[in-house]
Amino acid sequence: MDQVTESLLVRVWHSQILRDKELITAGGESFRVIYPGRTNSESGPDFHHAIIATGEGELRGDVELHVRSSGWQAHGHHRDPRYNGLILHVVMWHDKEGPTVLEDGKTVPVLPLYPYLEGLEWFSLLAAPDEPCHDLGARLGDGVVGELLDGAGEKRFRAKAGRFQAELAIKEGEQVLYEGMMGALGYSRNKESFEELARRMPVKVLEHIAHGASREKRG
For CA atoms 112, 59, 21, 121, give the dihedral sign: negative
pLDDT at 15: 76
pTM listed for this prediction:
0.61
Which pLDDT belongs to residue 143?
72
**Domain boundaries of the chain, sorted by first residue:** 6-140, 171-218
Q: Which of 45, 34, 25 is nearest to 116 (CA)?
A: 25
Q: How far apart are CA 108 and CA 98, in angstroms?
A: 10
- Cβ count within 10 A of residue 35: 24
Cα separation, 141 vs 122, whole angstroms: 11
Asked if 65 contacts 83 with a C-beta cutoff of 8 angstroms, the reply is: no
Spatial separation of the C-alpha atoms in residues 57 and 84, rounded to whole Å: 20
Residues 16/36, Cβ–Cβ less than 8 Å: yes
Among 205, 109, 60, 10, residue whose Cα is nearest residue 213: 205
The neighbouring-strand residues paired with 61 are 50
Give every residue of the chain whose pLDDT is below 70, as ranges. 1-2, 119-142, 144-145, 213-219
Round to whole Å and give the CA distance between 148 and 202. Answer: 39
pLDDT in tens, 42-65: 889 999 999 999 988 999 999 999
Q: What pLDDT shows up at residue 65?
A: 97
Chain segment 14-47, per-residue pLDDT in tens: 877 777 789 999 999 999 998 889 889 888 999 9
Single out the residue of 151, 126, 150 nearest to residue 136, CA to CA.
Answer: 126
Q: pLDDT value at position 123?
A: 56
pLDDT at 125: 46
Contact 48, 37 (CB under 8 A): yes
